[in-house]
Structure 1
């Protein structure tokens, strides 16, 4: 089969198209004829060498997200059969080749039937960001109708899903955005109000949206300085959920206000090859939200083929994309 591979870390031009052996599904696995993938920050960070412990062995096939059609099933697989349209997060990290190929192998536990209301390229935009947002809001923060939730980057990859999931469970949602366009997108997706954090201080928007008491939950898929402001924006005994905790932070506000901090790494079950069944369960819940009209992927205006993956990475790295950047299989 044809695949896009990298032989080492580097810039977007390190990808090459190469003939590689078509994988065979083992026990508990399915082979997927890949229709599409999408780009996540973890993909370009692996490609650059920022996360060497997460990288597949060279020559590496990247791409954590996948949507496609089941082509073959391994021994013991009964929930899927050839012809089923599926989506999920099969690999693209250490120990598990990714989706940038004609075919990929997935453990049956880490995929689910694709949402019926989406095309496969649209479905490919969801797995990593939707699993991340679900785990942050539902598994960790246990968000419910009584909560006021601050979502950082409400038009971003993880953020736009966070806005919709929080809205779907009945929470009041306030989303941040640096431009009028981004804030308008958040409101279209269900945010009750938005914040221009480049103009308003934390104290100002806490006063405006919580009467000065602080948000029940701060949803932070950005990290760095945003994580520090989250400790200022959340109420005493409140919850902060983040995907980025490698930066140095002053935790004194956490101690002073008895805050909880939860960190989510959605790909960890793939890296550790354990606790994978919950991914499939969550993907089914996410598909139901989509088909009920409560969640839709926000797609960047630019579409790329697998042959253009380097350009797609560069667009996301430069912060030029809005929503998810989809990659369609043109191999």
Structure 2
């Protein structure tokens, strides 16, 4: 099972409904044309605007909009211009939210990506005040647009750091395979899913043969390279639908949800063959002086009475059996073994 806990998610449009009004309705941008008032509005980084509710036309937008987005104030005719100059992934949700809040007479704000004239995008926060007449009907919308691009870049960096930390907490830093913590999570979820579906669950445990001798002869740096190479081969053999983890040291584990016994054996055989094809030199190995691996394989259709830890121990025992009987081989729990004395012994 491919691990998708890293990607990635990009920043999305966001909304906030205000429980209290933002400003009194008596004084709105555009109502006062005094030079002082207009200068104050147009000297800020915030971009003021006003829309007539009856016509849905802009009656005013600050000249700062052109410096930020490249669109002259004269090109902002109606709300359609506002909606069309929005990232397509944000448009529907933002427009629907703002229209609904405006109809309800509720002040609100929305974060979204606005299209620049040269084809780029700038993150804006639009803060909206709904102006109502004496009868309580919506008369106009006034607001300010704020450039929040720097804030969003900071949020994205923090989100990326969080994803990296989460990845590190669940992955082996050397091989990139899942770590023991991730394995515990994956096997628990796979076990529960198999109980619910009544399907099979297979486990393959892998141990690199004579790895201590390899490290002693070639050194730990070369040993690390060997571990990375074997992990890559195992991931290739298992494919994207199954989980590969480093169980500890030179031992790896594959969790195969839905794979029956025959499929699990075939995957183990493919792993063994691909490791052989790598032809990693190991002068102290009796198997053609190449790096090889031993495999323990088990399959179960777990029930609520089955013991997950006992199953893992039984597969680990098969790995030990393969190593005790010459290494570079596969030992599998037969179907009788799942109900036999061996399983019961590991269930204690």
TM-score, reference length from structure 2: 0.19
Please state which structure has a larger fraction of its residues in helix.
2
Larger-Rg structure: 2
Q: Output the TM-score relative to the length of structure 1.
A: 0.20
Q: Which has the bigger relative contact order, CA under 8 A and spacing at least 6?
A: 1
